[in-house]
Amino acid sequence: MTPASSEGEHDGDRGPSRKRRVRVRPTYVLALFIPAAIVLEILHASPPIIFFAAALGVIPTAALMGKATEELAAQTGPGIGGLLNVTFGNAPELIIAFFALLAGLQEVVKASIVGSIIGNLLLVLGASMLVGGLKRDKQTFNATAANAQSAMLLLALVALVLPAVFQLVHGGGLPAVGEERVDFGSDLEYLSFGVAIILIGSYVAGLVFSLKTHRKLFNPYEGEKHEGGWTIKRAVVMLAIAAVAVGVMSEILVGSINETAEQVGLSEFFIGVFVVAIVGNAAEHWVAVLVAAKDKMDLAVNIAVGSSAQIALFVAPVLVLASFLVGENPMALVFNGYEIGAMLFAVLIANFLTQEGESNWFEGVQLLAVYAVMGLVFFFA
C-alpha cells in the first residue's frame, strides 16, 4: 500500500479548478509494522515484541478490508457485502486453526471457534450498537434478515452441542480446561464427521437462500446506482490483498502467543478463546464498527451475526473434516462446560436483541458487559 498522490495539483492552477488533496489515513501508516513483524520473526526476536508488531500490523489491513467492503456494499447491498467480508475475514481464522491442527492443539482450535462466535455476537455487535448509537436515539435494521441469520446460528449451535450431550449420556466426561484430549473414541469422531457434513449442507442452503431465492431481502439496495468510488473489481482485489496480509500477520502473532503468554501469565485456554479469536477476526471487528458509525446497521448486524454463523456452519465443520486428514486423531466436536455455556448465552442474547430490528447504545453496553464477564470467568477458569 503506497500513499495516494494528490491529483490535479499543479503550480499556477487558478480559476474554477480546485486542488484535490488526498490524505493518508493514520491507520495506514501502521502498515510499516507488517514488514517489521516479518523481519522480527525471521530474526527470532523476543516473542512479546513480535506479538506487539504483528498486532499493530493487523490494523491497517483490517482498515483496508473495511474500505473495500464498504465500496462493495454500496453497489451490491449489505447481504453480498457482508458475505464477502465474513468470507475473507474468516480466512485468517481458518488458516490459524489449520496450523494448530497440524500441531495437535485441538482444544486450542475449539477454543478459537468458541471465541469467534461469542466475540462477534457480543464484542463486535455490542461495539457496533454502542458506537453507532452514541449520536442517535436508535438505529434500525432489517429484522427479517437478521432473524434468518440468528435462527440459522441457533440451529448450528444445537448441532455443535449435541456431540457433547452424546458424550455425557454415554458416561464420558467433558474435557477439562487446559486438558489436551484428542481421542474421544470412534463413535464421537464419526458422529462429528456426520454433523460437519450436515452443517456444511445447511451453510450452502443458506447461501442459496440469501443470494438467490430471497436475494431482495438481503440486498435492499439492489438496483440503486453507486456513483464514484471503487469499481467492484478493485474492491474485490483489495479485499483479497487485505485478507492475505491479515493471514500473514495473524500467523506470526499466534506463533508468538505461547511464549508471550508464559511471560505475562495467561493460560492457553484464555488465549484461544479471546486473543486468537480477536486477532483472527480483526477485519470483521473493524468493518462492523466502522459501518455502524455511519448508520449502516444492516451491514453491521449482517457482519456480526453472519460471521458467527459462518464460523459455526462452515469453519468448524471444515476443520473437523480436515482433522481426518492431518494430525494424529480426528477432532471431535466436544466442547468443555465453559465453552458450551458461553456459546449458548451469546446466541440466545443475539437472537433476543435482533427480534425488533432496532438498537441503541445501551444495548451495546449490555453486550460488552456480558463479554467482559465471560472474559473474567475464562481468565480464572
The structural domain count of the chain equals 1
User: pLDDT at position 376, please?
Assistant: 94
How many CA atoms, within 13 angstroms, populate the side-chain half-sphere of residue 327?
Answer: 25
Q: What average pLDDT does the structure give for the chain?
A: 81
Q: Give domain status of residue 282, yes or no.
A: yes
Which residue range is the domain that position 146 belongs to? 26-380
Rounded CA-CA distance 182/334 in Å is 10
Taking residues 28-55, report their average pLDDT. 88
Q: Give domain status of residue 362, yes or no.
A: yes
DSSP one-letter string for 223-265? T----SS--HHHHHHHHHHHHHHHHHHHHHHHHTHHHHHHHHT
Here the cell at position 107 is: 482444544
Q: Which parts of 43-105 fold into alpha helices (H)?
A: 47-76, 78-89, 91-102
Position 14 confidence tier, pLDDT thresholds 50, 70, 90: very low
Cα radius of gyration rounded to whole Å, the chain: 21
Q: Give domain status of residue 85, yes or no.
A: yes
Q: Which amino acid is at 127?
A: A
CB 74 within 8 A of CB 229: yes
User: pLDDT at position 159, please?
Assistant: 93
Query: pLDDT tens digit string along 77-133?
Result: 656 665 665 566 677 778 778 877 877 778 888 988 999 999 999 999 999 999 999
CA distance readout (Å), 195 to 212, 261, 332, 363? 25, 34, 10, 34
Q: Which domain CATH number covers 248?
A: 1.20.1420.30
Q: Nearest CA to 112 among 299, 260, 265, 331? A: 331
User: pLDDT at position 208, please?
Assistant: 80
Here the cell at position 179 is: 486438558
Q: Is the pLDDT of residue 45 over 50?
A: yes
| Backbone phi and psi for residue 241, each to the nearest 5 degrees, phi listed first | -60, -45
Q: How far is CA 74 from the centre of its chain?
A: 21
Q: E strands within the chain?
A: 139-140, 358-359
User: pLDDT at position 10, please?
Assistant: 40
Terminal CA-CA length for the chain: 42
DSSP 3-state assignment of 359?
A: strand
Q: Nearest CA to 299 among 70, 129, 134, 121? A: 70
User: pLDDT at position 277, please?
Assistant: 80
Position 227 confidence tier, pLDDT thresholds 50, 70, 90: low
170 Cβ contact list (under 8 Å, min separation 6): 187
DSSP 3-state assignment of 10?
A: coil
Here the cell at position 197 is: 457434513
Q: Give domain status of residue 14, yes or no.
A: no
Rounded CA-CA distance 346/92 in Å is 23
Q: Give domain status of residue 65, yes or no.
A: yes
Rounded CA-CA distance 164/1 in Å is 46
DSSP 3-state assignment of 363?
A: helix
Q: Give domain status of residue 78, yes or no.
A: yes
Q: Give domain status of residue 12, yes or no.
A: no
Task: Give the torsion sign (CA, 97, 99, 104, 105).
Answer: negative
Position 283 confidence tier, pLDDT thresholds 50, 70, 90: low
Q: Give domain status of residue 3, yes or no.
A: no
Q: Is the pLDDT of residue 226 over 70?
A: no
Q: Is the pLDDT of residue 52 over 80?
A: yes
